[in-house]
Amino acid sequence: MRNHFLKYRHTKHRHTKTLRWVATFAAITFLSSPAFAHTVPGQAKGFITGFLHPLSGLDHVLAMVAVGIWGAQLKRPAIWILPVAFPLVMSFGGLLGMRGVPLPGVEIGVAASAVVLGIVIALELRPPLWVAALIVSAFAICHGHAHGTELPKAASPLTYAMGFVLATGLLHVTGILIGLVDLLPVGGKLLRTAGGLIATTGLVLLAALVSHA
């Protein structure tokens, strides 16, 4: 019993230390970026707009938090691979959107991402890592394209991308923090419930989108 308790404390300490470093890095990046943004006209607007954009839509927020939760649910190495893969692939999708490359069904893909990711969390699905990464990357393309096509004309594409990638990363970290409740005896049930809520909300958003199409 004592060994189990010591192992739990060690695991909890390791996760806390890692998250502390992530939070510190994110804070430094966030605080330093606005200062850099004043050097070229349009960059401040690009960074701020890009940072706020992922936070402006519930479908975006749910999907990005869900990526962090699913990664935590799958444990290492998925806990860091999925949150890293999403913004990287999303950046590529954003580039396509900025270039005006058409991608049919983007909005449907964005809304569906919350549904699918919520379902895999609720069912506690544990596919091979490459399958999980492929699912996350497919939705990341849709989210990135949606961001890219909404780039303000006066904004800098580089700082806009920096803003929405940073915001995405922070949402992933939020999901990971939520996912750490899996360390508790009732943690698995709580995460499955959270997945169900995410999927249900995503379905409502998807239905509203289809009805207005």
Residues 116-141 as b or e (16 or more Cβ within 10 Å = b): bbbbbbbeeeeeeeeebbebbbebbb
Mean pLDDT, rounded, for 1-5: 45
Q: Determine the pLDDT at residue 121.
A: 92
State residue 59's pLDDT score.
82
Range scoring the smallest mean pLDDT among 20-24, 43-47, 145-149, 188-192: 20-24
Residue 26 resides in a domain? no
Which residue's entry shows tokens 């999403």? 86
Collapsing DSSP to helix, strand or coil, 75 comes out as: coil
CA gap 26, 71 in Å, rounded: 19
Residue in 164, 196, 195 with CA at minimum distance from that of residue 72:
195
Residue 149 lies in a domain: yes
Which position has the higher pLDDT, 146 or 116?
116
Is residue 72 within 8 A of residue 179, CB to CB? The reply is: yes
Number of residues that this document lists for the chain: 213
User: Which residues form the domain of 141?
Assistant: 43-211
Question: d(Cα 59, Cα 70) in Å, to the nearest integer?
Answer: 16
Whether residue 10 is contained in a domain is answered as no
Query: What is the mean pLDDT of the segment spanning 43-62?
Result: 74
On whether residue 78 sits in a domain, the answer given is yes
What residues contact residue 48 under an 8 Å CB cut-off, 6+ apart?
A: 34, 37, 163
* Least-confidence region, from 145-154, 156-165, 171-180: 145-154
Q: Within a domain: residue 158?
A: yes
> How much is the average pLDDT of 28-57?
52
Cis peptide preceding 34, ω within 30 of 0: no
Q: Residue 203 contacts by C-beta under 8 Å, 6 or more apart in sequence?
A: 115
pLDDT on residue 27: 36
Instruction: Confirm whether 28 is domain-assigned.
Output: no
The alpha-helical segments, DSSP class H, found in 39-77 are: 43-52, 58-74
Amino acid 45: pLDDT: 63
The model's pLDDT over 70-106, given as tens digits with 9 standing for 90+, comes to 998 888 888 888 988 888 888 888 888 878 888 887 8
| pLDDT greater than 90 at residue 119 | yes
| Confidence grade of residue 13 (pLDDT, cut at 50, 70, 90) | very low
- On whether residue 204 sits in a domain, the answer given is yes
Helices 129-149, 106-122: inter-axial angle, 10-degree rounding: 150
Would 20 be classed as within a structural domain? no
Burial class (CB in 10 A: 0-12, 13-18, 19+), 157: middle
Range of weakest confidence among 47-56, 69-78, 106-115, 193-202: 47-56
> What is the total count of domains within the chain?
1
